[in-house]
Structure 1
Amino acid sequence: MKKTKFSLLLVLTLVLSLFLSACYGGGGKETTKPAGGSSEGKSEETASNVPQEITVLETSAIPSLDSALAEDTVSLTMLNNVGEGLYRTDKNQEVVDGVAKGEPQWNEDKTVATVKLNENAKWSNGDQIKASDFVFAWQRAIDPKTKSPYGPYMMSNKILNATEIAAGEKKPEELGIKAVDDTTLEITLVKPIAFFESLMGFASFYPQNEKFVTEKGAEYGKNAENLVFNGPFVMSDWGGNTKEKWTMTKNENYWDKDNVKLEKINFNVVKDPATAANLFDSGEADITGKLASDVVPQYEGDERMVKWLEPTVFWLKLNQKNEALANVNIRKAIAQGFNKDDLAKSILNNGSVAANYAVPKEFVKHPETGEDFREKNGDMLTFNLEEAQKAWEQGLKEIGKKELTLEYIGGDTDNAKKTDAYIKNQLEKNLPGLKVDVKSVPFAVRLDLDNKMDYDIQFAGWGPDYADAISFSDLWITDGGSNRMGYSNPEYDKLLKQAQGDLAAEPGKRFEALQAAEKVLMDEAGLAPVYQRASNVLVAPKVEGFVYHLNGPEYSYKWIEVTDAE
C-alpha cells in the first residue's frame, strides 16, 4: 500500500508515505503484534440501545476515492471501508471472501484462476455486481490514458499482458481478465502468484460500476454524489468547498450487512496531535490518528492506547535526475550522515526504530528456514560520521563542486516539521558545504511533486500492499511505476525479474533473490532509510472490534460495535 501500495494513508505523517500504502492492524494493550489484530475483548456487555456511531480523527484529507487513481494511505483505507474486491483481510488478518464466493479454481500450472462471484453482491444503488465490472475496472486502471499511479505497478509482471499495455504496446482489452458470464471471472497470470488472494484484496483490483462511471464521465469520483460503493459503508457526505470532514453510513445493500453493527462514522481532519488527544480525552473523538512522540508518553500504561510495530519504512528518496544525487558517494554520504537512532529515540520517541534497510523486520520469514527477512543482510547504511564525510569529500571532487544546495520536500504537520528539521540540521552539520532547503507541503502536493519527479530529496515511506517482500522490492525496478527517483541498476532488475519469473515456483530461492536485491540497493545507497514506524492510537473503551492491518489499507471498521463500556 505507498505502499504505492501506498501508499497510505498519519500523524507521523501522511506526507511520509507513498501509499500508498499500506495497511496495519491494532490490538489492545501495550504489545507489539506480529500479524495485526483487533481491540476486541474489552467488554462482553453490549446494549442494544447504544447509538452505533463513532467519531474518527484523521491527519489528512482524502486525495481520491477513485480506486484506479488512489495511491495514499488515507484514500486506500477509506476505499477499504466503502469498497471491496474479490477478497478482503478480516479481523484475524486472514484473507476471506469479498465479492468472490469461495476460493479460486486453478488450471494445472496455476496461471489461470476461475472465480465465482457472490450473486447477492450489489452496488449501493442496487445494481448487481457483475464480472464485467471487474473487467472494466482493471482495464481502466492499466490503460495509460487513465494515468493510474498504482494500476501498472500492481498488475505488471502479474496479470497477462499488463506490462505491455502499460507500455502502450498492447490494448487494454488484451489484459488477462474476462467475464465468462455475469458471475464468473477468469484471470490469467504471467506466472503463479503465491499471494494471489491477498493481492486481489487491494483497491487497484476493486470492481467499478461500468454504467455509473460512464454516465458520470469526468465528474466521477469528485464527491460522494458521483460515486457508488460496494463495501460495508457508503460515503454519505464528502466533497464541497472543504474535504476535511466526511461521513460514512452503513451500506444497506452490502451482502454481509448483518455483520456490520456501526451505523455512522464521522471523520474529522486534525493535524495537531495534541489537539487530537484533547478531543479524545474530552469524549469528542473515539479513535485518533497515530499519536505524535510528545503525546505518547502521556498514555504509557493506559489501556486505551493500542500499540504495534508496523512493517512500514520511511526513507529519503534521492532523485537521481539531479547530477549530484546521481553520484553514488554523494548518496552514501547523505544516507550515513545523520543519526537515525537518535531521531527514533529522541525525536519520534514512540517505539519506532532506526531503519538500516529497505525491507522491514518482523514482516516476512524465509519459507523454508523460518528466518526473518532481516537475518541475512542485517543492518546496512548505518549512521557513520567518518564514512559519511569521506564519501562526501570524494563525491564533491567527482562532481567538481565544493558546495551543494538541495531542496528537501517534507510534510506540513508539526511532527513532520520536527523530523525534517532534525535531518536538515544533522546533514548540514555533518557534511560541510551542504545546504538543505526544506519545503513543507501538504500530502496531496507531495504526491504531485513525486509523480512529476520535481524534487531533490523527499521524505517518503512505504507500507506493504500484501504480505510479501516483493511489495517493497519491486518499487525500485528501472522505470517502475513507483520508482520515481531515477534509480536504475541492471543487477537489481535481473534479481527482481528472476523473483517474478523463473523462481516463482521455488519459494526459498525467490526469497533469497529478494534479499540479494536489497543488498544491491543498499550497497549503492539507492535511497536513504530513516526509520521503521511504530503506531500508537487511542481507542475509546466503548469501541469493540477496532482492527488494524499490517499490509494493504490501515484499518477496517466493518467489525466495530459500540458498547456501553466506559
Structure 2
Amino acid sequence: MKLKTHLMAGTAATLVALSGSALLAQDMTGPNGETLAENQTFTYRVLDEFPSIDPNLIEDVEGSAIGRNLFEGLMNQDSEGNVVPGVATGYEVSDDGMTYTFTLRDDARWSNGEPVTAGDFVYSWQRAADPATASEYQWYMGLMAIENVDAVMAGEMEPSELGVTAVDDHTLEVRLSQPLPYFAQMVTHTTTFPVPQATIEEFGDAWTQPGNMVSNGAYVLSERVPQERIVLTKNPEYWDAENVYLEEVTALIINDENQALTRYLAGELDQTDVPAGQYPRLSEEYPEQAVSVPNLCTYYYNVNVTEAGLPALQEQSVRQALNLAIDRDVIVENVTAGGQRPAYSLTHWATAGFEVPEADIIGMTQEERNTMAQEMLAEAGYGPDGEPLNVEIIYNTSDAHRSIAVAIGQMWQQTLGVETTLSNQEWQTYLTTRGDKNYQGVARAGWCADYNEASSFLDIMQSDSGYNDSGWTNEEYDALLAEARTAEDPLPLYQQAEAIIQEELPILPIYFYSTVFMMDDAIEGYPLENAQDNWYAKDLYRVAESE
C-alpha cells in the first residue's frame, strides 16, 4: 500500500486550536479523512545504545534516525526517497555544476526560538571537516567534493577555508572541486545538518544531554537513559509544527530480538524488528503488521588483510575459498527468511542506475562452488590435508548476527574443514575493534547507502575511507572511482570496481537487506517506498481503532 506522508493544513489548524486542552479523537482527522487516535505517540525498538546523537558525529543507522527527528538539514526525503525542501526551500546550480546556492526559509527556528541561518550550516560543515572534531564520518565531507575539503581534513588549511559561505542569513553558497550530480542527495545526511554553535561552546561534549541540547528538527530531546531509552517530544518552534501529529517518540534499547517481539505483541511497542527466520510465520499470523521491503543495505564480512590479520587471510585464494563456501541461499531462505537476496557484490541490487555485474560465481550451483573452494584452499596449503585454519568471526551482540555466524562457521567446517571462533561484542566496543582493525579474522558489517547512488557503497572501500575496515588498498580501484565522479555514464566504471572486489575479496558479501519489521497497523505514514528506509516521525500519525 502506498502510504501518504503529508498532513493536511486543516487538520493541523485543528490541532493548534485545541492545544492545551484535551484532544478528542473524533475532532481529529487524518490526511485521508481518518479518525485519529487521541494518543499520538510512537514507541519503537533499537538494538544498541547510540554511539552519538551529535549530527557531526553520528555514524550508525539508528543514530541517524534520531538525528533526522531532532535536526533538519537543507533537504529532506519524501516517502519515495525523492529530495524535497527542508530548511532550504530550494537551490540553484551553476552551469558548470560547481556551485550550489541554497535559499533558506525565513521561518526556520532553533528550539530556543533563535533563527536558523546559513551561518549555522557553515559552522557545522567546518566542524565536521575539522580534524580536531575527530568525526568518524569526516570522510563523508571529502566525498562531497567541497572546495578545499581534503586540505582542511588533512590539517593543511583552516576550516574557515572550506568552500562554503553564508552570503547572508538565508543564502548558503557551496563551491565544489568537481561536479557531483547527486550532491543534493548528499545534504539529506545527518553529517551535513546544522548544529548550534553557542550551545556547543557553552556545554562542550555535554551539549547533547537533555536540558542542554538545542535542535532545529520536529522534535526536541526530553529524556535519555543510557542503555534504556531516548524520548523525543514535539518541538513547538519547528517551522512546520502545525503539520506534525506525533507528540512523543520513544526509542527503547532492547538487545534481545525475541524479547522485543514479545513486548511488541503485548502492546508495549509500535514497531520492532522481526527476529531472524520468523518472518514467514509472522506474516501469516499478522499480515497487516509484518513488513518486508527492499532496503539499500548490504550485509558482509570484512576480512582483515593488514599485517595484523591472520596470515592465511592475506592470501587471495584463501579468501576466495571462504567466499565460495558460503551458501547464501541457505542463509536468506532458512536463517534470515525475510525477503533478503543473496549478495555477490557490495552495491545493493536496488540502487538507482546500478546493475549488478555478471560473475561466474553467481551462475554456479553451490556444489560447484564448494568443489572449487576445496581445490583453492588445498592449493594454498590449508584444509583437511594441509595446515589447520581457525578463523575468528566477530560481531556485535545480536541473536540474528550470531545465527548467521554459526551458519557460516558450519559451512566452512563442513566444506573446507575450517574451524571458527565466534566473538560477540557490545556495539561501541565492536565499532572500535573493527575500526582499529584489532581483529585477526573476519568482522561482521552492514553498510546502508547514505544516498541512492552506487558510489555510496563503493566509496567505503577506497584506500582512505574511514569505513574501509579491512585495511585493503588498491590503486586501480581508487582510480576507477575517481574517474566515475566525472563520467557521463559511471555504471561501467562502477562495475569494473565491483569486479575488483569480487576478485580480491577484502570483503565477503553475504546478502542484500530487506527492511523486515512488525508495525502496529494503527501507525500510518511510514515510507515503505523509500529504499533507504529514511523515515521522519513528523510524517507519522496514529489512527483510531475501528469500532
TM score, norm. by length of structure 1:
0.85
Pick closer, same or farther for the CA change 1:153–1:484 going to 2, 3 Å: farther
Q: Give the one of 306, 314, 332 matched to 1:326.
A: 314
Worse-superposed segment, 162-171 or 542-551: 542-551
Instruction: Give the superposition deviation at 1:445.
Output: 1.8
Deviations 1:422-476 (CA, angstroms, capped at 9, x unpaired): 11121122223x3321111122221111221112310111111101010011111
Equivalent-residue separation in structure 2 for 1:298 and 1:91 (angstroms): 25
Residue 14 of structure 1: aligned partner: none
Equivalent-residue separation in structure 1 for 2:121 and 2:363 (angstroms): 43
Equivalent-residue separation in structure 2 for 1:81 and 1:216 (angstroms): 21
Q: Are 2:355 and 1:362 aligned? A: no
Q: Are 2:266 and 1:282 aligned? A: yes
Q: Are 2:196 and 1:212 aligned? A: no
Residue 74 of structure 1: aligned partner: 62
Q: Are 2:502 and 1:516 aligned? A: no
Deviations 1:111-130 (CA, angstroms, capped at 9, x unpaired): 01111111111111112111
Residue 430 of structure 1: aligned partner: 415
Q: Give the one of 205, 218, 225 matched to 1:232.
A: 218
Please tell me the residue identity of whatever aligns with 1:170.
M
Instruction: Give the superposition deviation at 1:48.
Output: 5.8
TM score, norm. by length of structure 2:
0.88
Pick closer, same or farther for the CA change 1:37–1:274 going to 2, 3 Å: farther
Q: Counterpart of 1:299 in 2: which secondary structure?
A: helix
What is the root-mean-square deviation of aligned Cα atoms in Å? Answer: 2.6
Deviations 1:172-200 (CA, angstroms, capped at 9, x unpaired): 22211111122211101121111121111
Unaligned stretches of 5+ residues in structure 2: 8-28
Equivalent-residue separation in structure 2 for 1:157 and 1:540 (angstroms): 38
CA contact (8 A) 2:5 2:539 kept: no
CA contact (8 A) 1:135 1:177 kept: yes
Q: Give the one of 510, 516, 520 matched to 1:530.
A: 510
Q: Are 2:241 and 1:261 aligned? A: no
CA contact (8 A) 2:305 2:470 kept: yes
Give the 5 Å matches for 1:49-64. 50-64=38-52
Unaligned stretches of 5+ residues in structure 1: 1-26, 29-35, 366-371
CA contact (8 A) 1:274 1:295 kept: no
Please tell me the residue identity of whatever aligns with 2:321.
A
Deviations 1:151-186 (CA, angstroms, capped at 9, x unpaired): 223434611121222223322222111111222111
Give the 5 Å matches for 1:4-43. none
Instruction: Give the superposition deviation at 1:92.
Output: 3.6
* The structure with more radius of gyration: 2
Residue 93 of structure 2: aligned partner: 106
Residue 451 of structure 1: aligned partner: 435
Equivalent-residue separation in structure 1 for 2:254 and 2:420 (angstroms): 29
Give the 5 Å matches for 1:141-540. 141-156=128-143, 158-221=145-208, 223-239=209-225, 242-300=226-284, 302-321=287-306, 322=309, 323-365=311-353, 372-374=354-356, 380=362, 383=366, 384-396=369-381, 402-432=387-417, 434-455=418-439, 456-501=441-486, 503=487, 506=488, 508=489, 510-540=490-520
CA contact (8 A) 1:318 1:526 kept: yes
CA contact (8 A) 2:122 2:165 kept: yes
Please tell me the residue identity of whatever aligns with 2:56.
A
The count of residues paired between Structure 1 and Structure 2 equals 516
Q: Give the one of 115, 119, 123 matched to 1:132.
A: 119
Please tell me the residue identity of whatever aligns with 1:341.
D
Q: Counterpart of 2:412 in 1: which secondary structure?
A: helix
Equivalent-residue separation in structure 1 for 2:203 and 2:532 (angstroms): 28
Percent identical among aligned pairs is: 27
Q: Counterpart of 2:165 in 1: which secondary structure?
A: strand
Instruction: Give the superposition deviation at 1:59.
Output: 2.0
Task: Select the structure with the greater relative contact order (CA < 8 A; seq sep ≥ 6).
Answer: 1
CA contact (8 A) 1:548 1:554 kept: no
Runs of 4+ in 1 over 4 A off after TM superposition: 36-45, 375-383, 548-553
Q: Counterpart of 1:341 in 2: which secondary structure?
A: helix
Q: Counterpart of 1:547 in 2: which secondary structure?
A: coil
Worse-superposed segment, 71-80 or 329-338: 329-338
Q: Counterpart of 2:380 in 1: which secondary structure?
A: helix
Please tell me the residue identity of whatever aligns with 1:452.
D
Pick closer, same or farther for the CA change 1:309–1:553 going to 2, 3 Å: closer
